[in-house]
Each structure stands twice: as C-alpha cells, then as structure tokens.
Amino acid sequence: MNKRLLPIIITLLLLSACGFTLRGSEYQALSTNIQQLELTYNSSSNELAQILRRRLIASGVEIIDNSSNYKLTLGNEQNIERVVSVNRNARAGEYELTLISSLQLESNGEPVIATEIISLDQIYAADPTNAAAKTNESELVLNELRQTLVEQIMSHLQTVR
C-alpha cells in the first residue's frame, strides 16, 4: 500500500468512528409514526417553510394535502434587526438579527406539540461604509438562522411517538 495513502485512510476511519458527520448530511428518517404529513403555512413566499418542506422530503416524509394523521402548522417568519453596537464614528457596527416563527403539530385534530414559538438570534458585524456588503451579510446570517431553525423543528418532530 502506498505510504502516503495510509495516513488518510487512518484519519477517515478515526473520524467515522467518533461519529463525525458533515453538517447537513445527518438526514435521518423521522419517527416511524410520521410517514405522511400535511404542512400548512400562511405565505407562499415563506422561505423557512420551503426549507422545511425540502428537509422533510429528504427525511422520507411524504407531504400531502388534507392528512388525517399529522398536520404541521408553521407560523409566519418574522425577522427583526437591531443595532447592537456603534463604532467610533457613531455608525452602526454590529447588528443582531432575530428570526421568529411558531409551530404546532396535530394528530387527528389533537395537539401533539402545542403551539410553540421558536426564536433564534445572531450578531454580525457590518461595514458601515458598504451598504451592499451589509445586505449580503444580513442575508447570509438569515439563511443560517433558517437552517438552524429547521433543524430545531426536525428535532421536535423526532420526539413524536
């Protein structure tokens, strides 16, 4: 065996043995009880709902209309941005972005997960002289928050028995 290849193989074996997975590659099926799900949300432009829909499908859940078993209701996505700190020129230097939504899971009309509000926030620095860079950074942070929120929702659904 090639001497250069051996350390790579050993490293890969050690990483897999410790449970390491790449972020987002740990998709697993939800509880065996949730094979079909009705997903409802208010706005067709709800990016959070679209990400959740894709994640549910990737996890083996069939999204159907008018499910008699499980109905997941996702609330409107709300983004709140506020200035956290100012720089020496009295301009905003850091912002806090908060993403808020709610979820409720029902089975045959009975609540399995009562209406719960989920909120995440993250602080990011912005260049006060470059508005385009601030907008790009804000969008990146918002997308990260959406992904994290979807993971939290999936964790909630994983507990359903």
The 10s digit of each residue's pLDDT in 89-141 is 777 778 899 999 999 999 888 898 999 999 999 998 877 777 777 788 889 99
Listed by start position, the domains of the chain span 38-158
The pTM of the full predicted model, rounded to 2 decimals, is 0.74
Write down the pLDDT at residue 117.
Answer: 94
CATH number for the domain whose boundaries are 38-158: 3.30.160.150
d(CA 31, CA 111): 17
Task: Look up residue 86 and give its two tokens.
Answer: 């100012």
Task: Look up residue 141 and give its two tokens.
Answer: 């942070």
Of 108, 128, 125, 118, nearest in space to 154 by CA? 118
d(CA 113, CA 105): 5
